[in-house]
Amino acid sequence: MTIRHTIKTEDYHYKTNIPIRFADIDAFGHVNNAIYLTYFEVARSAYWNEIIEWDWSNIGIILRNSHVEYLKPIMLNDEVYAYVRTSRIGGSSFDLEYILIKVVNGEEQICTTGSTLCVAYDYNAGKPVPIPEYQRKKMENL
Amino acid sequence: MTIRHTIKTEDYHYKTNIPIRFADIDAFGHVNNAIYLTYFEVARSAYWNEIIEWDWSNIGIILRNSHVEYLKPIMLNDEVYAYVRTSRIGGSSFDLEYILIKVVNGEEQICTTGSTLCVAYDYNAGKPVPIPEYQRKKMENL
Amino acid sequence: MTIRHTIKTEDYHYKTNIPIRFADIDAFGHVNNAIYLTYFEVARSAYWNEIIEWDWSNIGIILRNSHVEYLKPIMLNDEVYAYVRTSRIGGSSFDLEYILIKVVNGEEQICTTGSTLCVAYDYNAGKPVPIPEYQRKKMENL
Amino acid sequence: MTIRHTIKTEDYHYKTNIPIRFADIDAFGHVNNAIYLTYFEVARSAYWNEIIEWDWSNIGIILRNSHVEYLKPIMLNDEVYAYVRTSRIGGSSFDLEYILIKVVNGEEQICTTGSTLCVAYDYNAGKPVPIPEYQRKKMENL
Distance in angstroms (rounded) separating the CA atoms of residues D41 and D18: 10
**Is A21 within 8 Å of chain C by CB?**
no
CA distance B3 to chain A (A): 8
Task: Say if the Cβ atoms of A34 and B33 lie within 8 Å.
Answer: no
Query: Nearest chain A Cα to B41, which residue?
Result: A34
pLDDT recorded at residue B141: 87
Euclidean distance between CA atoms D117 and D83, whole angstroms: 16
Quick one: pLDDT at residue B6? 52
Query: What pLDDT is stored for residue A1 in this prediction?
Result: 42
Average pLDDT over chain D reads 94
A21 touches chain D (CB under 8 A): yes
What's the mean pLDDT in B52-71? 96
Confidence (pLDDT) at D6: 52
Give the residue among A93, A92, A68, A94 at the shortest CA–CA distance from A82. A68
pLDDT at residue D79 is higher than 70: yes
Q: Which residues of D4-17 are buried (b: 16+ CB within 10 A; e: fewer)?
A: ebeeeeeebebbbe
- Chain C residue whose CA is closest to D39: C34
- Does B37 contact A at CB distance below 8 Å? yes
Report how many Cβ contacts below 8 Å link chain C to chain D: 72
Chain D residues with beta carbon closer than 8 angstroms to that of C34: 34-38, 41
What would the mean pLDDT of B62-80 be, rounded to a whole number? 97
Instruction: List, for chain C, all residue ranges whose pLDDT scores fall below the cut of 70.
Output: 1-6
Residue C119: what pLDDT? 98
For the residues D99-114, what does the mean pLDDT come to?
97
Chain C CB within 8 Å of residue B29 CB = no
pLDDT of residue D4 exceeding 60: no
The torsion angle over the Cα atoms of residues C111, C98, C37 and C116, rounded to 10 degrees, is -140
Burial label, A81 (beta-carbon count in 10 A; 0-12, 13-18, 19+): middle
User: Dihedral of the CA atoms A140, B4, B5, B11 (nearest 10)?
Assistant: 170
| CB atoms near residue A1 (< 10 Å) | 13
Q: What is the mean pLDDT of residues B57-62?
A: 93
Instruction: Convert chain A into a string of H (helix), E (strand) and C (coil).
Output: CCCCCCCCHHHCCCEEEECCCHHHECCCCCECCCHHHHHHHHHHHHHHHHHHCCCCCCCEEEEEEEEEEECCCCCCCCCEEEEEEEEEECCCEEEEEEEEEEEECCEEEEEEEEEEEEEEEECCCCEECCCCHHHHHHHHHC
pLDDT in tens, D22-56: 999 999 999 999 999 999 999 999 999 999 999 99
Residues (pLDDT < 50) of chain A are: 1-2
CB C121 within 8 A of CB C80: no
> In degrees to the nearest 10, what's the CA dihedral of A41, A47, A49, A50?
150
Q: What is the mean pLDDT of residues D114-130?
A: 96
Report d(CA B121, CA B118) in Å as an integer.
Answer: 9
Q: Which residues of A40-69 are buried (b: 16+ CB within 10 A; e: fewer)?
A: bbbbbbbbbeebbebeeeebebbbbbbbbb
The rounded distance, in Å, linking the Cα atoms of D142 and D135 is 11
pLDDT number for residue C4: 53
pLDDT of residue C22: 97
**CATH class of this structure's domain D9-141:** alpha beta
**pLDDT tens-digit series, residues B3-49:** 555 578 999 999 999 999 999 999 999 999 999 999 999 999 999 99
- Residue C45 main-chain phi, psi, to 5 deg: -60, -45
Burial of C57 (C-beta count, 10 Å sphere; 0-12/13-18/19+): exposed
